[in-house]
């Protein structure tokens, strides 16, 4: 019987080789599990563009800079498997941590231009860990296309650049953020919030992003530094305990300059009930 | 007409895809040019095991820690092309430096256990540069098998570990050192030596390696530290200007211990006429 869940690296390789030998286009959605409608939108997009879709679930310790964050990351394997089967995913690659990071030799990867802004500042080593696991997964799965949600916009930019710089022959496809009815961007971490925080406070992130966008579009000459300061204070008054950043950057994460480009985004990361939430919108 | 020399990354990809779509086994020999009988032995070995052989010539600036060494590295493209054509190589991949290292985003790679011994000590960053270019070349060429000579033994160990750790589905094949009649290991750098150094002094490297091997095999209880010191002094007396290392390590480059293992090698790196030569033999 052809098992749906594949733990073994050589086994997933062999199964995917059958697909690619038959000329199938392979789509790949790497995840850390606890699947929600955001992941499902990635799988659906992959299916609209590929013949076969592979999903991985691996909570990658190297991309967590905080042990508690790693240990408390929500795990819902049984419901994840049901979701994947219901969406016609070919295989779930669910490797063991000791096979991904065996003892002995290791290598580390680091980046020139992604590591000094936004989430990289508060999550030291996070993107190096993301880069390493993706190189490993790309080498195992050998996908034609990979799918990433824009909630983790900096991760998307990193993957685009990494794939291009390391000469991987892979299309990196983005998918818009999926939101709860309240406007809150879907995230596995939302499950860690109390009802009050999730329904009444966390949605303010999206609310203020839209507000800032409106203010800037109404007045291109506004003092951005003061604007940002005011909205940071607003978030604290709403009940966030800390604002890691509220920033406007170019689409490629360079500094924003009204005169150079209108391709910019507003980014926010803020903490509530010890849970770090992020969001961003196009300006 | 199907060009033999391919500069363009997408073009070499397309040509190799035709081979792999036809089920051909692809062998790959990465070089920095100035081809000699050592490279030819790699190509011949590749042909004995693969259907198609691709050779790259790229003098990788990131693996040189010394600008003069980079600039003086011997370049003999015309004769290299003749050698490759005469040995039935399918394509020479000869990329432009600006296509391999475009401006903007870069990433760096570093290693846990290779970087604190032998050549890594005197050539800071060398193996990180080797690792990066190989990841890029592996992603472009997508070979089934890659070929490395054992003169650069530490590089061979690095590549074996790197391929395994990053989950590349590539066989790393080694080839014994090819030597001049004098015993001197073939190296492009030999061309930088005067006749006297090349014929009378440089061959002493191999000579003392064999001598040490004999002494140790005759007396397993010998004081290794003193033995090594004596032979370093001998090399200086022969005319070498500096000994970077003379060392005995396990096959996997761990410290040698008579009691643990007999799988050991003797390694030497020494400088003559500002040229750094390396050699090694099995103990």
Contact B110 A106 (CB under 8 A): no
Q: What's the confidence (pLDDT) of residue A252? A: 86
Cα separation, B112 vs A266, in Å, equals 38
Q: What's the confidence (pLDDT) of residue A260? A: 44
Look at chain B and count its residues.
283
Chain A positions touching B167 (Cβ under 8 A) are 9, 136, 139-140
CA angle B75, B80, B82 (to 5 degrees): 145
- Architecture per CATH, domain B5-175, reads as 3-Layer(aba) Sandwich (3.40)
Chain A positions touching B9 (Cβ under 8 A) are 167
Predicted confidence (pLDDT) per residue in A219-275, tens digit = 888 899 999 999 999 999 999 999 999 999 988 888 776 554 568 999 999 999 999
Whether residue A36 lies in the annotated active site: no
State how far residue B71 is from chain A, nearest Cα, in angstroms: 25
Q: With respect to CATH, is domain A188-282 assigned 3.30.1300.10?
A: yes
Chain A positions touching B164 (Cβ under 8 A) are 105
Taking residues B4-30, what's their average pLDDT?
A: 97
Q: What's the confidence (pLDDT) of residue B257? A: 65
Residue ranges for chain A with pLDDT beneath 50: 260
Phi, psi of B248 (to 5 degrees): -120, 125
Q: Is the pLDDT of residue B260 over 50?
A: no
State how far residue B24 is from chain A, nearest Cα, in angstroms: 12
State how far residue B14 is from chain A, nearest Cα, in angstroms: 11
Q: Is the pLDDT of residue B88 over 70?
A: yes
Q: What's the confidence (pLDDT) of residue A135? A: 98
* Mean of the per-residue pLDDT values of chain B: 94
Separation of first and last alpha carbons in chain B? 51
Hey, of B13, B104, B167, which one would you mutate to test binding to chain A, going by the most A CBs within 10 A of its CB?
A: B167
Question: Is B141 an 8 Å CB contact of chain A?
Answer: no
Q: Among A36, A39, A87, A126, which one carries the catalytic annotation?
A: A39
Helix B9-21, helix B126-141: angle, nearest 10: 60
Look at chain A and count its residues.
283
Q: Is the pLDDT of residue B131 over 80?
A: yes
Distance, CA of B22 to chain centre = 31
What residues of chain B, 7 to 66, have a C-beta less than 8 Å from chain A? Answer: 9, 13
Question: Is B252 an 8 Å CB contact of chain A?
Answer: no
Q: Are B153 and B161 in contact (CB under 8 A)?
A: no
Domain ranges, ordered by start, for chain B: 5-175, 188-282
Residue of chain B with shortest Cα separation from A100: B165
Predicted confidence (pLDDT) per residue in B188-241, tens digit = 999 999 999 999 999 999 999 999 999 998 988 889 999 999 999 999 999 999
Q: What's the confidence (pLDDT) of residue A91? A: 98
Q: Are A188 and A36 in contact (CB under 8 A)?
A: yes
Phi, psi of B51 (to 5 degrees): -85, -35
Edge-to-edge, what's the strand order for the sheet holding A5-6?
A5-6, A91-93, A52-57, A26-31, A145-149, A171-175
Contact B107 A111 (CB under 8 A): yes
For the record, the structure tokens of B90 come out as 């399918």
Q: Are A167 and B136 in contact (CB under 8 A)?
A: yes
> pTM score, two decimals?
0.95
Cα separation, A113 vs A115, in Å, equals 6
Ordered DSSP codes for B62-129: GG-S-HHHHHHS---HHHHHHHHHHTT-SEEE---HHHHS-SS--EEEEESSSTTSTHHHHSTTHHHH
Predicted confidence (pLDDT) per residue in B18-57, tens digit = 999 999 999 999 999 999 999 999 999 999 999 999 999 9
E-only strand ranges, chain B: 5-6, 26-31, 52-57, 91-93, 107-111, 145-149, 171-175, 242-250, 264-272, 275-282
For the record, the structure tokens of B166 come out as 């990053």
The percentage of residues in chain A with a pLDDT greater than 70, rounded to a whole number, is 98
Nearest Cβ partner for A105 among B105, B135, B161:
B161
Q: What's the confidence (pLDDT) of residue A261? A: 55
Q: What's the confidence (pLDDT) of residue B220? A: 82
State how far residue B138 is from chain A, nearest Cα, in angstroms: 9
């Amino acid at each position: 019987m052809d098992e749906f869940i594949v733990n073994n690296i050589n086994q997933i390789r062999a199964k995917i080789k059958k697909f690619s030998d038959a000329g199938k286009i392979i789509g790949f959605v790497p995840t850390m599990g606890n699947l929600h409608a955001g992941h499902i939108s990635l799988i659906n997009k992959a299916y609209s563009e590929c013949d076969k879709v592979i999903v991985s679930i691996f909570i990658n310790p190297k991309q967590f800079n905080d042990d508690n964050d790693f240990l408390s990351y929500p795990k819902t394997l049984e419901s994840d498997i049901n979701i994947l089967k219901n969406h016609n995913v070919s295989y779930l690659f669910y490797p063991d941590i000791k096979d991904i990071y065996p003892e002995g030799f290791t290598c580390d990867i680091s980046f020139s231009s992604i590591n000094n802004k936004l989430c990289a500042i508060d999550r030291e080593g996070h993107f190096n860990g993301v880069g390493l696991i993706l190189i490993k997964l790309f080498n195992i799965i050998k996908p034609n296309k990979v799918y990433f949600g824009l909630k983790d916009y900096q991760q998307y930019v990193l993957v685009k650049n990494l794939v291009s710089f390391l000469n991987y022959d892979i299309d990196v496809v983005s998918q818009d953020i999926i939101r709860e009815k309240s406007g809150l961007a879907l995230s596995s971490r939302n499950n860690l919030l109390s009802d009050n925080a999730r329904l009444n406070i966390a949605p303010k992130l999206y609310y203020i992003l839209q507000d800032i966008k409106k203010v800037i579009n109404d007045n291109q000459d506004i003092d951005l530094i003061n604007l940002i300061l005011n909205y940071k204070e607003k978030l604290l008054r709403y009940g966030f305990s800390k604002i890691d950043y509220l920033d406007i950057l170019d689409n490629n994460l360079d500094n924003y300059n009204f005169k150079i480009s209108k391709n910019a985004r507003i980014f926010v990361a803020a903490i509530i009930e010890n849970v770090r939430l992020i969001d961003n919108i196009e300006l």
